[in-house]
Amino acid sequence: MANRRNFIRLIGGGVVIAAAAGAGLTAFPLGLADPSAAWLTPGAGETDPRRRALAFAILAPNPHNMQPWLADLREPGAVSLFVDRTRLLPATDPFSRQILIGCGAFLALLEMAARAQGATVAITPFPQGEPGPSLDDRPFARVVFSAGAPVADPLFAQVLARRTNRNPYDMARIPSAADLQAVALAGVQDGLITAAFTADPARTAALRDIVWRGWLREMNTPAALKESVDVMRIGDRAVTEHRDGIALDGPMMNLLGAAGLMSPAALLDPQSEANKAGMQMWKAMADSAPAFLWQIGVDNRRTTQLAVGAAYLRLNLEATARGLSIHPWSMALQEYPEMADLYREQQAMLGGAAQSPVHMLVRIGYATAESAPAPRRGLPDHVKDA
């Protein structure tokens, strides 16, 4: 069309956009609050060391940015942590393995932040026992705070710069073996979690292929697709209202959302123009993976899942410190029936198995653009019975 341009914009969960916009179209004058405000000065103005540490913990990486963490602060000097079971992802994460990885990252950040400000913490995972295949109402951790000397973990300096970066990565710039080794090492826990990486051309090509097949499988599995679409926040107003999920913000999303071109109905149709354009964006991401890195658990116990999250947080921070970006590709790690064949194939490629699975797989490299901080709901939304 003569005076129209096609716009494509990446979105977090799997889909996106193409639509027309001409000169003269502008974003709404929304005047909305910053959905990423939680990243600015976490804990500023808080006098309780538990709340100061929690203000950092809510910046943890977590699946679909569901932020399912609830803190009970009623016991002085202690925090009991619960999963908000209204924020699970049952279609793609049927055993809440990934949700617990996000809880482990949360605990690691809580501990780092507490120690940086001079508190010592003692963490007891699942103080009332581990849940079975479904999470229940019992806490996932109890954390006791006491006074100590400040301990500056060098990785703590990276916390506010850490991102999940979904931009294309530079395929001409392969991360060095030394950097990959150091990042992998940060994702290891002795006796519990190993980590490995590859920048080998044949092996990365095979991994680019399978992560892409995983993406396609998810797009074409209605319940899995719906789960993502249900948490897509279309336009600045929705992003600011929810401050969670998959944020589709910016002037173009505002316009497309208002015009009805970017709607849950369009996103639920794998053949829609929105999804066809999104597919191109995601394929470009899968294709720009100069290296991959992954973590394997010695088992798949609930405590191991928490430990994977803690180690993943450190891995992400170490990558940040080295100027490297990471982006998880979890589709073929997910345990729902429609993914079962790809799950087995990918686990075998990486040296994992159902009982000692690969828990996290990321592409790693030098991103071609920076990522904005992902929205966070803010501390008050995480304090239970306050």
Ligand X SMILES: Cc1cc2nc3c(=O)[nH]c(=O)nc-3n(C[C@H](O)[C@H](O)[C@H](O)COP(=O)(O)O)c2cc1C
H helices of 322-356, where?
Answer: 340-350
Phi/psi of residue 59, nearest 5 degrees: -90, 10
Tokens at 68, concatenated: 């399912």
Residue closer to ligand X by CB (options 96, 255) is 96
DSSP H or E segment with residue 384: strand 383-384
Q: Taken in order 67, 103, 70, 336, is the CA torsion positive or negative? A: positive
Residue closer to ligand X by CB (options 278, 328) is 328
Residue closer to ligand X by CB (options 120, 167) is 167
Residue 77: CB minimum distance to ligand X, A = 29
Residue 138: CB minimum distance to ligand X, A = 21
Residue closer to ligand X by CB (options 138, 377) is 377
b/e map 26-61, b = 16+ CB within 10 Å: eeeeeeeeebbebbeebbeeeeebbbbbbbbbbbbb
Residue 366: CB minimum distance to ligand X, A = 17
303 vs 201: CA distance, rounded Å: 35
Residue closer to ligand X by CB (options 105, 123) is 105
Q: What is the total residue count of the chain?
A: 386
Residue 218: CB minimum distance to ligand X, A = 9
Residue closer to ligand X by CB (options 64, 119) is 64
Residue 35: CB minimum distance to ligand X, A = 12
360 vs 217: CA distance, rounded Å: 18
Residue 121: CB minimum distance to ligand X, A = 21
Of 17, 18, 15, which is closest to residue 5 (Cα–Cα)?
Answer: 18
Residue closer to ligand X by CB (options 63, 290) is 63
DSSP 248-316: E-SHHHHHHHHHTSS-HHHHT-TTSHHHHHHHHHHHHHHH--SEEEEEEESS--HHHHHHHHHHHHHHH
Residue 302: CB minimum distance to ligand X, A = 14
Residue closer to ligand X by CB (options 290, 375) is 375
Number of neighbouring beta carbons within 10 Å of residue 364:
26
235 vs 248: CA distance, rounded Å: 6
64 vs 231: CA distance, rounded Å: 8
Binding site for ligand X (CB under 6 A): 12, 61-65, 98, 101-102, 105, 163-164, 166, 327-331, 374
Residue 63: CB minimum distance to ligand X, A = 4
CB 55 within 8 A of CB 49: no
